[in-house]
Amino acid sequence: MTGEKAPIGVIGVGWVGLVTAACFAELGHPVVARDIVPAKVEALSRGETTIHEPGLDDLLRRNAGRLTFTTEMDGLLDAAQVLFVCVDTPPTYSGDADLSRVRSVVEELRADGDHVLAMKSTVPAGTGESIRRDLPGLAYVSCPEFLREGSAVEDFLHPDRVVIGAGPGDDGAGAAVARLYEPLGGEIVRTDVASAEMIKLASNAFLATKISFVNEIANVCEEVGADVGEVARGMGLDERIGPSFLQAGIGYGGSCFPKDVSALKMLAGNTGYHFQLLNAVIEVNELQKRRVVGKLEKHLGSLLGKRVALLGLAFKPNTDDMREASSLVLAARLQGEGAEVVAYDPVAKERAAELLPTVEMSASALDALDGADAAVLVTEWPEFAELDWAEVANRMARPLIVDGRNFLDAKALRSAGFEYEGIGRAGEGSPSPAAAD
């Protein structure tokens, strides 16, 4: 795009919306971002970031003059022609995507015919066609996001691809959205709306499938004496497979994978197709979180009255997002077995405390580990690898750790006096089948 930058509107300034607004401002565009939560708008207008995302604070400060935050739709419509919709589509009790926030935006735009609506929110295939019927005068483009929490700014500014779906009569709108992304250099995939919607759901479902698959392999490795790290490395060298998302652990979480896998499963079911593979992906992911309890019980016996420290609470490092975090399930299961649960997370403590009111929140990792009968590494924050584990062993009532992300140095921990359990790492704290015989 050359010359004067076009003003851009962003509807919804949650995680995706705020990153989108800040990055477009970084590209030189004036951006008006609207949210219905006054407290959030007021905080952002004061320059206070409302989420933890590396690099986002700097972008917001550097581009404060280009960013306007408001609760009013009229100001947004007056300022910008292209409107990026970035509202949440959480799962309903049935597993379908909740489109109520999207529908609310559509209602507000019903009388409008002068703008391009670019849908970044993840919606089921067919949603765009439905909106186009409801808003016949408005140009509609599907532009799904592929941002990873913890590296969202980098992902936006250096995309591997940008998907843009436009229906008949909206090619000009699709081209307008494409021009906004051209300076970023990623491949621009132009397609129809339904295909663009499916690309997002299919991508996340496939990545979730890789995670569940390698976790199943990890469980088998524990039974046959193999090391899932070596297995995954050997698999990943095959270019048809690749190394990404082959890290065994205690399951995926966050705002995207659980929701999108469920939404795709329900989308298929609503058409009469039984997506059996996704049923297995979901089941494996849920069971993986609970296997940690069995590992603890193998060493401790009953967990009644035992003090268990959780290291990390956010669903992944470099974010404070607690949505579908493994820590939520794990804390509940441990307390259900009668354990006393104490936890520490360097960023997500405040959000976690609201969701886990009966879990003791510690001010530091060492405080959480002090007097604990066992520890579980839930989130692979770098500071946990840098702990003085010899000191930790002296502070714990029993130096036992379950490394839920295979993140720590098992050999160093054993040398420090720890009983160590990883995921899929038979022989590193778990008896091999031969030894068991």
41-53 per-position pLDDT tens digit: 999 999 999 899 9
Are 250 and 405 a contacting pair, CB within 8 Å?
yes
Q: Give the per-residue pLDDT at 274.
A: 93
CA-CA-CA-CA dihedral for 301, 302, 305, 310, to nearest 10? 70
Mean pLDDT, residues 311-338 taken together:
96
The distance from CA 142 to its chain's CA centroid, rounded to whole angstroms, is 21
Q: Say yes or no to pLDDT of 428 above 60.
A: no
| Alpha helices (H) in 143-275, listed in sequence order | 152-157, 171-181, 193-224, 228-236, 257-270
Give the span between the Cα atoms of 127 and 135, in whole angstroms: 12
Answer yes or no: is pLDDT of 69 > 70: yes
pLDDT at 104 over 60: yes
Catalytic-residue membership of 256: yes
pLDDT the model gives residue 111:
64
Please choose, from the candidates 28, 27, 35, the residue with its C-alpha nearest in 3D space to the C-alpha of residue 10.
35
- 3 pLDDT band (50/70/90 cuts)? low
Characterize the bridge pairing of strands 31-34 and 67-70: parallel
Which pLDDT band, with edges at 50, 70 and 90, does 114 fall under?
Answer: confident
Q: What is the pLDDT of residue 406?
A: 97
Across residues 371-395, what is the average pLDDT? 97
User: What is the topology classification, in CATH, of domain 250-436?
Assistant: Rossmann fold (3.40.50)
Tell me the average pLDDT across 328-343: 97
Q: What is the pLDDT of residue 432?
A: 36
Average of per-residue pLDDT across 101-113: 84
Q: For residue 2, what pLDDT is reported?
A: 42
| pLDDT computed for residue 435 by the predictor | 33
pLDDT level of residue 418 (50, 70, 90 thresholds): very high
Active-site residue, selected from the candidate residues 23, 143, 221, 256 = 256
Locate the domains of the chain by residue range: 8-191, 250-436
- pLDDT averaged over the chain? 93
Q: How far apart are CA 82 and CA 139, in angstroms?
A: 9
Average pLDDT over residues 284-295: 94
**Structural class in CATH, domain 8-191:** alpha beta
Q: What is the mean pLDDT of residues 131-155?
A: 93
- Given this model, what pLDDT does residue 279 score? 95
pTM: 0.91
pLDDT tens digits, one per residue of 82-102: 999 999 999 888 888 999 999
Chain centre distance of CA 363: 25
Look at residue 255 in the predicted model and tell me its pLDDT.
85
pLDDT attached to residue 363: 96
Percent of the chain residues past pLDDT 70, beyond the cut: 96
- Stretch 238-245: mean pLDDT, rounded? 96
What's the pLDDT at 413? 97
Decide whether 8-191 matches 250-436 in CATH topology. yes
Residues 314, 200, 404, CA angle at the centre, nearest 5°? Answer: 30
Place 113 in a pLDDT band, splitting at 50, 70 and 90.
low
Report residue 109's pLDDT band, with 50, 70 and 90 as the boundaries: confident
